[in-house]
Structure 1
Amino acid sequence: MKEIIFATTNQNKVREVGMMCNNPDLKLLTLKDIGLDVDIVEDGSTFEENAIIKAKTIMEMTGKIALADDSGLEVDYLNGEPGIYSARYLGEDTPYSEKNADIIRRLEGVEGSDRSARFVCAMAVAFPDGRIRTCRGTIEGVIDYKEKGTNGFGYDPIVYVPEYGLTTGEMEPELKNSISHRGKALEQVKKILEEELQ
């Protein structure tokens, strides 16, 4: 069984990836599982660069395959904000209810497709021989006029996906995981791991 270190302390992400990554040949371990407490500076300018920084750092510290993601919300009307700063938008400790309310307020008077937005997830896998592979998944939607739903986390209650008639915060976990940015990126990661670990 191959151990893979998932470079995150975000328990919501761990839960989502754990639900989606049900391969009996792989054991997904978190930084907490291996007792590693490290503060990685994410100073990349793209989701991919930040994912690579995290995966490479953890792989070098542990000597094991490391998986990392960097994800966030891009709102077109706001020139792609909050983007790579999604977690730090309005301050890292600011509750998402405030972050969500601020984005809705900034889109006041903006209608229809001009409210377009997407969740982006870039994932990087760093191998002990130094190779790094990346992939990206997205889910398109529009910013809703108010928060709806208590499933998911973060910006989920304000991203409305028209073809399902729900925000990602209203979706059952199984549905969300099957169509989400993280789900799409993880599908690609699974293929990368299958190729690499044969």
Structure 2
Amino acid sequence: MNKRVLVLSTENINKINEIKHILRGLEIKVLSKKDVNLEDFEVIEDGNTLEENSLKKASALAEKIDYMVIADDTGLFVDALNGEPGVYSARYAGEDGNDKKNNEKLLGNLKGKSLEQREAKFLDVITLITEDKKIYTVKGECKGTIALELRGPSSFGYDPLFIPEGYDKTFAELGSDIKDKISHRAKALKNLKNTLIKILEDDIDEDSRS
């Protein structure tokens, strides 16, 4: 059986490597937009929900190529802030997507709140569109709290502030080995892998009947 091709709507090398690692062992070749000469193809994420943004990015890419595609959108939802920053997590402090400014704004908006009042969750939504344009949506969630101050080395996004449930350290302090096992994206990718396994099994069943 020839390998199916899956194109990712991202140029983030860390995300690409993470997805390749999760999907290892499957008869699927994972490519980036750059690998299919679409590195300059961008989609404006103006949806009101993570689901809308994820679907919009995946659909736009699926119109350009005949391979399977996936796109995702991630948000941090803080209970005490009525769900902020939510869908605007990457640009909470402005359109430049500056992690430092985003963290500073989040801390400022939570000033005076105790740790018990800082419950939050990360949510990752992945949209998969197959070659025949069937659409699948998978999600991953990680609950936790927002720390009182930045903790751990400077790292990606809100990692120095987010303490996952069951731990007393932030994602930044825990490091990538643990984060990649318990994070919202890790859970969403595991659900994606299960979906892809089912798709590949259905292909085998169809081949055996033909």
TM-score normalised to structure 1 length:
0.93
| AA in 1 matched with 2:69 | A
Unmatched runs of 5 consecutive residues or more in structure 2: 202-210
**CA contact 1:168–1:176 (8 Å) conserved in 2:** yes
Q: Distance in 1 between matches of 2:163 and 2:49?
A: 24
1:87 matched to 2:94? The reply is no
Residue of 110, 122, 125 corresponding to 1:122: 125
Aligned to 1:5: 7
Q: Percent identity?
A: 37
Aligned to 2:24: 22
Counterpart mapping for 1:177-196 below 5 A: 177-196=180-199
**CA shift at 1:133, angstroms?**
0.5
In the TM superposition, what whole-angstrom CA distance separates every residue of 1:151-195 from its partner, at most 9, and x where no partner exists?
751111100124121101112322111110001011110011111
- 2:162 corresponds, among 159, 164, 171, to 159
Instruction: Give yes or no for contact 2:115–2:147 (8 Å, CA) kept in 1.
Output: no
Distance 2:48 2:131 in 1: 25
Aligned to 2:73: 70
Q: CA deviation at 1:57?
A: 1.3
Report SS of the residue matched to 2:172: coil
Provide the TM-score with structure 2 as the length reference: 0.88
**Count of residue correspondences:** 198
Q: Deviations for 1:40-74, whole angstroms, at most 9, x for unmatched residues?
A: 12232211121111111111211110011110211
Deviation at 1:134, TM superposition (A): 0.3
CA RMSD, Structure 1 to Structure 2 (Å): 1.6
Distance 1:76 1:16 in 2: 29
Bigger Rg, which one: 2
The C-alpha deviation readout for 1:119-145, integer Å capped at 9, x for no partner, is: 110011001212101011111111101
* Distance in structure 1 (CA, Å) of the matches to 2:78 and 2:115: 13
Pairing 1:27-176 to 2, within 5 Å after superposition: 27-36=29-38, 37-150=40-153, 152-176=155-179
Residue identity in the other structure for 2:147: D
Q: Which has the higher contact order (CA 8 A, sep 6+)?
A: 1
- Whether the 8 Å CA contact 1:149–1:169 is kept in 2: the answer is yes
Structure 1 residues without counterparts, runs of 5 or longer: none
Decide whether the 8 Å contact of 2:115 with 2:146 is kept in 1.
Answer: no
Secondary structure in 2 aligned to 1:141?
strand
Aligned AA (1:160): I
